[in-house]
């Protein structure tokens, strides 16, 4: 019943202060309540339609993600027509060089799916911790709380693409210092130029100097290596923006699925041009990621000055 039809069958309700006294007031209240609470047919229809649309949207998005990973690969095995290939492949090149040289017990902090475990051929054991549970996570930790790990238990702490998501990064680095053996290695990678992701937990970006500054107080920084140049930085941003734009709704994902071969072609061209531009960029000022290697100093770390 709408307010207009209510005015016809019970005019005193819509004209409060009618002549029937308290009784009228009571009836008024219950009728108004009924009108307010009873879902209208159109409401029921539109909420069912909304639920159906969002279920179909979620299904389409899942199908798209499955198809995309089948055709374009998954992290860390992306094919050159994957929209994250430019940022991924430059990072993987650095990691593939350094990871096999690290030996002993490895702790992967913020491990996710432990994508780099197969590349750590020198690891005698490999433990992964993360704030989010997952099939490959050995222990779930809480932000800002000590890790369930003994002091000086590990030879290597690996922390790839995590620090930008940690509000209190120094707390994480303090824990990394605690669990590393003296002389042990910390390997960190962080983005310098990339879009906001994993919202709302995306807090920081690090330049080479910024990464050194963040790690320096607790470790001896051995090496900082930038990944990529102007081409991969611009290309990765452009493709990530396009992907985000075209996956924001079920109908756009449907469109993108229909245009998938064309989308893969565009990505391949942008990736190729990005690589060429990287090859001619000599500025050293534009890079997507930073990799940093550091060691835990021997002796009393409170008196350590980097
Ligand atoms: C971008 S993913 C990187 C995953 C993996 N390290 C990689 O390189 O593919 C960021 C990961 O950091 C984890 N993370 C976020 N905050 C964390 C924290 N305070 N301590 C440990 N892990 C955290 C997230 O749950 C997520 O798995």
> What is the topology classification, in CATH, of domain 73-303?
Rossmann fold (3.40.50)
Pairwise pLDDT comparison (153 vs 35), residue with the higher score: 153
- Name the residue ranges covered by the structural domains of the chain: 3-37, 73-303
Beta partners for 293? 187, 223
**Among candidate residues 4, 16, 5, 10, the one with its CA nearest the CA of residue 31:** 10
Q: What is the pLDDT of residues 18-42, one digit of tens each?
A: 434 455 456 556 555 655 656 666 7
pLDDT at 5 over 80: no
Does the pTM surpass 0.85? The reply is no
Q: How confident is the model at residue 250 (pLDDT cuts 50, 70, 90)?
A: confident
Pick from 161, 181, 171: nearest CA to 88: 161
Could you identify the atom of ligand 1 that is nearest to the CA of residue 112?
27
First to last CA, the chain: 76
Q: 78 alpha carbon to ligand 1 midpoint, in Å?
A: 19
**Ligand 1 center to 144 CA (angstroms):** 14
Q: Which residues line ligand 1 (CB under 6 A)?
A: 109-112, 115, 130-132, 141, 143, 160-162, 165-166, 172
Give the number of the atom of ligand 1 that is nearest the alpha carbon of residue 115.
9
Instruction: Give pLDDT, residue 205.
Output: 97
Q: Which pLDDT value is given to residue 299?
A: 75
Of 55 and 75, more confident: 75
**pLDDT score for 8:** 43
Is pLDDT above 70 for 111? yes
- Average pLDDT, whole number, for the chain? 88
Helix axes 85-98, 260-280, angle to 10 degrees: 60
Which among 218, 127, 223, 115 has a CA at the least distance from the CA of 176? Answer: 218
């Amino acid at each position: 019943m709408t307010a207009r039809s209510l005015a016809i069958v019970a005019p005193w309700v819509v004209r409060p202060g009618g002549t029937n006294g308290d009784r009228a007031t009571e009836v008024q209240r219950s009728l108004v309540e009924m009108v307010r609470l009873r879902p209208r047919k159109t409401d029921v229809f539109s909420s069912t339609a909304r639920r159906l649309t969002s279920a179909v949207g979620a299904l389409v998005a899942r199908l798209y993600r499955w198809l995309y990973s089948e055709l374009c690969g998954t992290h860390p095995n992306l094919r050159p027509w994957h929209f994250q290939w430019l940022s991924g492949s430059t990072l993987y090149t650095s990691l593939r060089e350094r990871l096999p040289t690290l030996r002993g017990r490895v702790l992967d902090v913020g491990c996710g799916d432990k994508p780099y475990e197969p590349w750590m051929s020198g690891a005698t054991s490999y433990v992964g911790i993360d704030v989010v549970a997952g099939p490959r996570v050995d222990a779930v930790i809480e932000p800002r709380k000590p890790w369930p790990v003994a002091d000086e238990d590990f030879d290597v702490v690996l922390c790839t693409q995590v620090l930008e998501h940690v509000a209190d990064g120094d707390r994480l680095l303090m824990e990394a210092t605690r669990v590393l053996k003296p002389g042990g290695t910390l390997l960190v990678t962080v983005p310098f130029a990339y879009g906001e992701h994993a919202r709302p937990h995306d807090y920081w970006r690090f330049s080479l100097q910024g990464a050194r500054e963040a790690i320096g107080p607790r470790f001896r920084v051995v090496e900082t290596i930038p990944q990529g140049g102007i081409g991969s930085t611009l290309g990765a941003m452009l493709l990530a923006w396009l992907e985000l734009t075209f996956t924001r709704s079920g109908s756009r994902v449907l469109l993108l699925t229909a245009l998938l071969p064309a989308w893969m072609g565009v990505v391949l061209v942008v990736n190729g041009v990005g690589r060429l531009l990287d090859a001619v960029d000599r500025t050293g000022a534009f890079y997507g990621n930073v990799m940093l290697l550091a060691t835990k100093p021997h002796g009393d770390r409170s008196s350590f000055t980097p």
